[in-house]
C-alpha cells in the first residue's frame, strides 16, 4: 500500500466523523501504519492528535501520566478489557484493545497462570518460592490464587514504581499472607534467598541486550536446582509494532527466538537448559531457562 496514493487526511477525518474505526477496518489501519515512514510520523500523529489525552486508551499510553510506557494502570486496563462509556471514545478504545500486541499481553496473563499451575501441581503440597520481576498490577497472580486458593506457592513481587505496589497490594489484600512486595529496581536488587520460579513479563523488552544478559545471569544464580526463569519479550514478528509506536509512542526492543537463545548462551547457560515458549499469537515470546 502506498500511503501517498490514498487521501489519508480524508480517511482519518471520516473515522472521526463516525467516532472511530469499525472492527472490520482495523487490519487496513494497521497495514496503513506499517507504511508510515519515520519522517511522516509527526504528520500522521497530527491527524489523530485529538486522541492524545488521558481519557482514551491510546492517549493514556501516548501521554504517559505515570511518566513511562507500560505502567500498571494501562496494563490493568488491558487485562480488564476496559472500554470508555463515551460514544466518541469507545470505538477508539476498541481499536486499542484489539491491537494484536494488546491481545498478546492478555494472552501472556493466561500463560503465566498456566505456568504457576504447572509449578503448583509439581509441588505436591510443598512450599514453592516465586519471584516476579516488574510485577505491575499483579493480576495474573490474583487470578491464579482465585482459581487455586489452596496453592502452595508464595510470591515475592518486585516493582520500581511505588504506585504499582500500592495498587497491587490493595488488589491482592486477600492474599497478602503469601505475597511480599518490594519497591526495588531489578537492576540493583540482590535477593536473599533462592526461588523455584522467576517470572518476568513486560519488563525485559525495555532493556538493551547487555542489560538483558546481565540480569539473566544475575537472577539465574538465585534459582534452586530444578527451578526455572521465564522472561517475556515481544517477537520481531509483531504486526502492530508501528501502530504502537506511532499512536502510543510505545517503543520496545523486539527480539527473535534466536536472539533470546543467544542471550541465554551469553549469560553462560547450557544450551540443553534453554527453550523459548510463545503465547498463541506468537507475538510475545518467553525465554525459559532451567537450572
Ligand X SMILES: C[S@@+](CC[C@H](N)C(=O)[O-])C[C@H]1O[C@@H](n2cnc3c(N)ncnc32)[C@H](O)[C@@H]1O
Contact present, 44 and 36 (Cβ < 8 Å): yes
Binding part of the chain for ligand X, among 20-28, 57-65, 183-191, 234-242 by CB under 6 A, reads 183-191
Residue 202 or 227: the one with the smaller Cβ distance to ligand X is: 202
At its nearest, how many Å lie between ligand X and the CB of residue 18? 32
Buried b (16+ CB within 10 A) or exposed e, 14-49: ebeeeebbeeebbeebbebbeebeeeeeeebbeebe
CA angle centred on 153, ends 166 and 164, rounded to 5°: 15
At its nearest, how many Å lie between ligand X and the CB of residue 191? 13
Residue 95 or 204: the one with the smaller Cβ distance to ligand X is: 204
Q: How far apart are CA 137 and CA 201, in angstroms?
A: 12
Size of the site for ligand X (CB under 6 A): 18
- One of 72, 92, 175, 219 touching ligand X (CB under 6 A): 72
Mark residues 26-65: x for contact with ligand X by CB under 6 A, - for none: ----------------------------------------
Relative orientation angle of helices 139-147 and 100-123, to the nearest 10 degrees: 50
Q: How do strand 223-234 and strand 274-278 relate by DSSP bridges? A: unpaired
Residue 30 or 72: the one with the smaller Cβ distance to ligand X is: 72
Residues contributing to the site for ligand X (CB under 6 A): 70, 72, 75, 134-137, 158-161, 164, 185-187, 201-203
Amino acid at each position: 500500500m502506498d500511503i501517498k496514493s490514498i487521501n489519508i487526511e480524508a480517511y482519518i477525518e471520516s473515522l472521526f466523523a463516525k467516532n472511530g474505526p469499525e472492527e472490520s477496518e482495523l487490519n487496513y489501519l494497521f497495514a496503513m501504519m506499517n507504511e508510515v515512514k519515520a519522517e511522516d510520523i509527526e504528520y500522521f500523529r497530527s491527524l489523530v492528535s485529538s486522541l492524545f489525552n488521558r481519557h482514551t486508551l491510546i492517549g493514556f499510553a501516548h501521554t504517559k501520566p505515570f511518566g513511562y510506557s507500560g505502567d500498571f494502570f494501562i496494563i490493568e486496563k488491558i487485562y480488564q478489557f476496559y472500554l470508555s462509556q463515551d460514544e466518541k471514545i469507545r470505538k477508539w478504545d476498541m481499536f486499542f484493545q484489539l491491537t494484536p500486541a494488546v491481545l498478546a499481553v492478555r494472552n501472556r496473563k493466561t500463560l503465566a497462570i498456566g505456568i504457576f499451575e504447572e509449578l503448583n501441581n509439581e509441588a505436591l503440597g510443598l512450599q514453592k518460592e516465586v519471584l516476579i520481576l516488574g510485577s505491575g498490577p499483579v493480576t495474573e497472580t490474583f487470578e491464579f490464587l482465585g482459581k487455586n486458593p489452596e496453592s502452595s506457592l508464595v510470591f515475592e513481587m518486585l516493582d520500581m514504581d511505588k504506585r504499582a505496589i500500592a495498587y497491587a497490594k490493595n488488589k491482592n489484600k486477600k492474599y497478602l499472607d503469601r505475597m511480599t512486595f518490594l519497591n526495588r529496581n531489578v537492576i540493583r536488587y540482590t535477593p536473599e534467598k533462592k526461588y523455584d520460579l522467576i517470572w518476568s513479563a513486560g519488563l525485559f523488552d525495555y532493556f538493551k541486550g547487555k542489560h538483558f544478559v546481565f540480569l539473566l545471569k544475575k537472577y539465574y544464580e538465585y534459582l534452586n536446582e530444578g527451578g526455572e526463569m521465564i522472561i517475556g519479550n515481544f517477537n520481531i514478528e509483531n504486526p502492530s509494532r508501528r501502530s504502537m509506536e506511532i499512536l502510543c509512542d510505545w517503543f520496545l526492543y523486539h527480539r527473535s527466538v534466536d536472539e533470546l537463545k543467544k542471550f541465554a548462551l551469553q549469560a553462560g547457560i547450557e544450551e540443553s537448559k534453554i527453550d523459548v515458549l510463545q503465547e498463541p499469537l506468537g507475538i510475545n515470546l518467553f525465554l525459559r531457562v532451567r537450572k
